C-alpha cells in the first residue's frame, strides 16, 4: 500500500496534469473544442437532398459580373480598425483592397501604412442594403492561406438595437492561417458565445482548402441552422425553444464578407508578412427562399 507521502505526491501530479489540461482548453481558439473536429466526409443524404431541392426560389444574388468595384446597390463597407484587436484598417471603396476581376470579388489584405495601421484589407456587408430571415445561402469562395490570415463569411443581426451577442451571429465559414486545413462553422448568441466559451461550433479538416473554390452553404429555418460544405451537411444548431438568448435567429440578419489579418484568434501565432498581399476570392453569393404557401 502506498505511503501517505506517496499518495500526496500522486495527488499533486494529478492536480498538475488537470491544471495543465485546463490551461490548454482555455487557450483553444474560438470554434475549436476538444471533440468537435474531424476530417470532412459526406453528410446525411436526406440533408443533401434538402439542400438541392428544386423549389428554392432565388431572391438575391451577386455574380460579380461587372466591375471594377462591388455594386454600391448591394454592398457597403466597414471602415477602420473594427474588432478583435485585428491589425488591418478596413478601407472604403478602394480597389487595392476590394475589386471585381474575372467575374469574382477579390478582397486583398496588404502590408502598408494606412491611417495609423500597418495593414489594410476590406470588409463588405449588406447592412442597410439587404437582410434575410430564413432561407438558403450559398457562397462560393477560395480562401487565402498563411500565418495571420483570417477570412470569414458570416451573418449578423441588428447589433445596434440589442448589442452583440444578443443580436445573433452565424459564421458560415472561418479559417485561420496558422491552422490552415481546419474550416470552422460557428453560432453565437446571448447564451452561446466565445466570450463565455459556450459557442456552438464544428470544425472539419479539409486537405488544402485554400487550393480551390469551395461552396459554403446554410439552410436557415425556424427550427434549425444547417451548415453545408460543398453540398454536404457538416453541422447543425437546433432551436431549443428557450427564448431569444438561445435562439435570436427569428429576426433579420445581414451578410459580411471580410479578410482580417492578425487579431485575437487569427494572430495567435503572429503575422507572416511574406504571404502578403493575400487574396480572398468570392465567385458568387446566392440566396434562396421557399415560396409562400
SS3 content of the chain, % helix, strand, coil (to 5): 15, 40, 45
State the distance between the two ends of the chain, measured CA to CA, in whole angstroms.
74
Longest CA pairwise span in the chain (Å): 80
* Catalytic-labelled residue, pool 86, 169, 226, 232: 169
Catalytic (active site) residue 86? no
> Residue 11: is it exposed, middle or buried by C-beta count within 10 angstroms (0-12/13-18/19+)?
exposed
Catalytic (active site) residue 212? no
Which among 218, 282, 255 is positioned nearest to 76, based on CA atoms?
255
Q: Using CA atoms, how far apart are residues 258 and 268, in angstroms rounded to an integer?
A: 18
Exposure string over 56-66, b if 16+ CB within 10 A, otherwise e:
beeebebebee
Contact between residue 40 and residue 206 where contact means Cβ atoms under 8 Å apart:
yes
* Catalytic-labelled residue, pool 86, 138, 174, 232: 174
CA atoms within 13 A on the CB side of 161: 9
Q: What pairs with residue 183 in β-bridges?
A: 204
Q: Is the peptide bond before 277 cis (omega within 30 degrees of 0)?
A: yes
Which three-class secondary structure state does DSSP give residue 79? coil
Q: How many H helices and E strands in the chain?
A: 3, 18
Q: Which residues are known catalytic residues?
A: 169, 174
Amino acid at each position: 500500500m502506498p505511503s501517505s507521502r506517496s499518495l500526496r505526491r500522486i495527488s499533486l501530479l494529478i492536480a498538475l496534469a488537470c491544471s495543465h489540461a485546463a490551461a490548454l482548453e482555455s487557450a483553444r481558439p474560438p470554434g475549436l473544442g476538444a471533440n468537435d473536429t474531424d476530417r470532412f466526409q459526406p453528410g446525411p443524404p436526406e440533408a443533401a437532398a434538402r439542400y438541392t431541392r428544386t423549389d428554392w426560389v432565388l431572391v438575391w444574388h451577386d455574380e460579380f459580373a461587372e466591375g471594377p468595384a462591388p455594386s454600391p446597390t448591394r454592398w457597403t463597407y466597414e471602415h477602420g480598425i473594427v474588432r478583435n484587436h485585428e491589425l488591418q484598417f478596413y478601407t472604403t471603396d478602394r480597389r487595392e483592397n476590394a475589386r471585381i476581376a474575372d467575374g469574382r470579388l477579390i478582397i486583398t489584405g496588404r502590408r502598408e501604412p494606412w491611417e495609423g495601421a500597418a495593414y489594410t484589407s476590406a470588409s463588405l456587408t449588406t447592412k442597410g442594403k439587404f437582410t434575410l430571415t430564413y432561407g438558403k445561402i450559398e457562397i462560393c469562395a477560395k480562401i487565402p492561406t498563411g500565418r495571420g490570415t483570417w477570412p470569414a463569411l458570416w451573418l449578423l443581426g441588428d447589433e445596434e438595437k440589442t448589442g452583440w451577442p444578443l443580436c445573433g451571429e452565424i459564421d458560415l465559414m472561418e479559417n485561420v492561417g496558422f491552422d490552415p486545413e481546419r474550416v470552422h462553422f460557428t453560432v453565437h448568441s446571448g447564451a452561446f458565445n466565445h466570450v463565455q466559451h459556450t459557442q456552438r461550433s464544428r470544425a472539419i479538416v479539409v486537405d488544402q482548402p485554400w487550393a480551390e473554390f469551395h461552396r459554403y452553404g446554410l439552410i436557415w429555418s425556424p427550427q434549425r441552422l444547417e451548415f453545408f460544405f460543398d453540398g454536404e451537411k457538416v453541422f447543425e444548431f437546433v432551436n431549443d425553444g428557450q427564448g431569444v438568448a438561445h435562439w435570436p435567429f427569428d429576426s433579420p440578419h445581414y451578410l459580411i464578407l471580410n479578410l482580417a489579418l492578425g487579431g485575437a484568434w487569427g494572430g495567435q501565432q503572429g503575422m507572416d508578412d511574406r504571404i502578403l498581399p493575400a487574396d480572398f476570392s468570392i465567385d458568387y453569393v446566392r440566396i434562396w427562399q421557399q415560396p409562400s404557401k
